[in-house]
Chain A
Amino acid sequence: MALAPKDVLGRDNVVVELFGMARIASGKHSVELIVEAPVSVSGLANALVRECPELAGVAVREDGDGFLASYTLNINGSRFVSGEHLYLEHGDSVLLFSSQAGG
């Protein structure tokens, strides 16, 4: 999908792509978010649950302050996230899917 340009405050637009139960619970494949750089994992979780409250308790912690341990984050299909720092750039896609790898 075409991503909106940075907003008037120069904040970044990123897309969170949803997989598994996160997709089913929200009814969405992806969510576009405006975030202020540098955004942290908990900051992203907060922004996501504001946009999709139904993800609380499904993929995002009930307090909105991070993701559930059963989920992992990947940037643009190439970089897996560990720790709190995301290092996102405008236009990045954050993939949110199960942390249980494989079958």
Chain B
Amino acid sequence: MYGYHGKALIVDLTTRQTRWETLDRTVLQAFIGGTGLGAYLLYRHCPPGTPALSPENPLIFVASPLVGSRLTTSSKFAVVTKSPLTGFIGDSLSSSYLATELKKTGCDALVITGKSESLTLLSIEDGEVQYLNAADMAGLSTFETESHVKQRLGSRTRVACIGPAGERLVRFASISNDGGRQAARTGPGAVMGSKNLKAIAFRGTNTVPVHDPAALAEVGRDLAIRSLGPATEKYRTLGTMANVSVFNRLGTLPTRNFQQSTFEEAEAVSGEVFHEAHFTKNAHCANCTIGCEHVMTTTDKGPTATGRVEYESGFALGPLVGIKDANTVIRASTLCDELGMDTISAGATIAWAMECYEKGILTHADTGGIALEFGNDEAVIACLRLIGDREGLGDLLADGSRIAAHKVGQGSEAWAMHVKGLEMPGYEPRSLQTLALALAVSTRGACHNRASAYEADLSDRVDRLQASRERGKITAEGEDFSAVLDSLIWCKFLRKAFHDFYGESADIYEDLTGWSMSSEQLQQAGERINNMKKLFNVREGWTRADDTLPQRVLEEALPDGVAAGASISANDLDMMVSAYYEARGWTADGNIPDAKLAELGLDVLITHTASAEV
């Protein structure tokens, strides 16, 4: 077999038994790898109704056919599990050397079930599994943990680990690898923590042959050149933080818990200011020519912090909580990486609490004496530490905004800014209404990456301030595109460097695997993967009522900026959701009809016996 190993390694932490499961051509071509293959494996290995933090919930690491190819941006992997935030599918991506090492252990996917009796370091070397005591790593930060494992098992070891937040089951805890890269959204770190699994060490020598190395080398050179062209210019220069000043001007920068769409201090936390005052160096993932990562360092008199700052972290720990000091943003983002937690959910949950404090629902006594006001730098840092330790107010916030609002009540659910339990990213849906639909219907909750629907809004294709039925088709197409991107797996930042994404990717897939794949078949794989994810959610109790937006978005018009007055009513959203279901070929209540399952082959694939144990 070319491009794949054709098998998954299944590890049961409870019984300490391991086994291999074949992944045959039918399954691999249908789901490709990454989030697609992960969704399929989750459906197979997660018993219906399993609580997310129970031992039976599988934690799945998935490589892809591109991993090991050395094509630019190809060193990525997916982590898939049932999310403790949403109760639905949770799929996150991370990058760099760990992806390559995961595949070199001899599997396309690692499925971890069960729970260790005590804190454990799982070592996987060329498919050989060891369960090592990790008691001495309890409470260590993600950076300390990675360093500790490398000292213990060798510097070539690649490490996926959790920090204190994962150990304490913070529902938005991340899994960290390669010096602070995070699989963070939807909280896979909490699932890892629930299994008493502090870290996984990967080492291997099993490379996978490529079907047509010469063709792949040629396309690789061409892609590397294109990756340095205009399609990636922003990522190479200012990075994603360039969004801040643009989004502020366009009235789509969520500020003070989505109470505003512009931030009067945006300039101070803009990408331009970060670049001029805090930029230290660019960093690359393994096998990447773009080098999008911008490492920033604090410049004030406080404790020095250095770390990567992306737009989503910058927005969530800046304007969303009213912070105008770039040093605080760097410090808070780095602290999240150390503790091992998602910056978006952390910032958004703190923003919810700040609004509760503003409205007198959380008091000084509730916060343990913290003046939890928007813009209070010390309060943000203190809250992050409390969340990581699950102490005091942090114990409430560690469950995310949906559960926290449910516990606190008093109307605070109205400004808990989440979809399906996942906190909203840094795009104001009232002034980006294609994105609004995509956030509502996404299988993993409020996610900007699983459809990249903002692209339509930030173009002349639609009126971004008005709801319309055409959004249904645009969103479905964007989701299918993203599903292929996230399954092959290409980095999102390369997406505009393709002349014909499906055609070129299908050719590359054939060069890698030797398996013929047409452009249309690849596009259909994207549709199949989205239906696979939906099928999992339906099995876990999803209903149309879950495809909605926060009450604030549906009831309040934007008060400020160029988009002042923009709104989305419940009827607007309902119309767009219906149009989306129609574009998907689903029923009016959003379920997948048997005919659609058959068209995509899912009726057979979900009971596929060729993936049986070997």
Asked whether A77 lies within 8 Å of B272 as measured between CB atoms, the reply is: no
Q: What mask results when residues 225 to 237 of chain B are scored 1 for a CB within 8 Å of chain A, else 0?
A: 0000011111101
Among A21, A69, A80, A95, the residue within 8 A (CB) of B238 is A21
CB contacts (< 8 Å) of A80 on chain B: these are 458-460
CB contacts (< 8 Å) of B276 on chain A: these are 24
Judge whether B496 is part of the interface by a CB distance below 8 angstroms.
yes
- Complex-state Cα separation, A99 to B243, whole angstroms: 11
Query: Using a CB-CB cutoff of 8 Å, which residues 230-263 of chain B contact chain A?
Result: 230-235, 237-238, 240, 242-243, 245-246, 249-251
- Complex-state Cα separation, A81 to B461, whole angstroms: 10
Asked whether B246 lies within 8 Å of A103 as measured between CB atoms, the reply is: no
Asked whether A95 lies within 8 Å of B272 as measured between CB atoms, the reply is: no
Judge whether B427 is part of the interface by a CB distance below 8 angstroms.
yes
With A74-B250, A77-B251, A95-B249: A20-B448 Cβ-Cβ less than 8 Å: no
Judge whether A79 is part of the interface by a CB distance below 8 angstroms.
yes
Asked whether A103 lies within 8 Å of B448 as measured between CB atoms, the reply is: yes
Q: What mask results when residues 404 to 437 of chain B are scored 1 for a CB within 8 Å of chain A, else 0?
A: 0000000000000000000000110000000000
Q: What mask results when residues 14 to 57 of chain A are scored 1 for a CB within 8 Å of chain B, else 0?
A: 00010111011000000000000000000000000000000000
- Complex-state Cα separation, A78 to B432, whole angstroms: 11
CB contacts (< 8 Å) of B454 on chain A: these are 101-102
Asked whether A76 lies within 8 Å of B562 as measured between CB atoms, the reply is: yes
User: Number of contacting residues on A, CB 8 A?
Assistant: 25
Judge whether B590 is part of the interface by a CB distance below 8 angstroms.
no
CB contacts (< 8 Å) of A81 on chain B: these are 460
Judge whether B166 is part of the interface by a CB distance below 8 angstroms.
no
Distance (whole angstroms) from the CB of A42 to the closest CB of chain B: 17
A69 to chain B: closest residue by CB: B230
A23 to chain B: closest residue by CB: B272
Query: Using a CB-CB cutoff of 8 Å, which residues 208-238 of chain B contact chain A?
Result: 230-235, 237-238
Query: Using a CB-CB cutoff of 8 Å, which residues 451-467 of chain B contact chain A?
Result: 452, 454-455, 458-460, 465
What are 22 contact pairs spanning A and B, CB under 8 A?
Answer: A21-B238, A23-B245, A24-B238, A70-B234, A77-B249, A79-B460, A80-B458, A80-B459, A95-B246, A98-B233, A100-B234, A100-B496, A101-B458, A101-B459, A102-B240, A102-B448, A102-B454, A102-B455, A103-B243, A103-B310, A103-B311, A103-B448
B residues sitting closer than 8 Å to A (CB atoms) are 230-235, 237-238, 240, 242-243, 245-246, 249-251, 271-272, 275-276, 310-312, 426-427, 448, 452, 454-455, 458-460, 465, 493, 496, 561-563
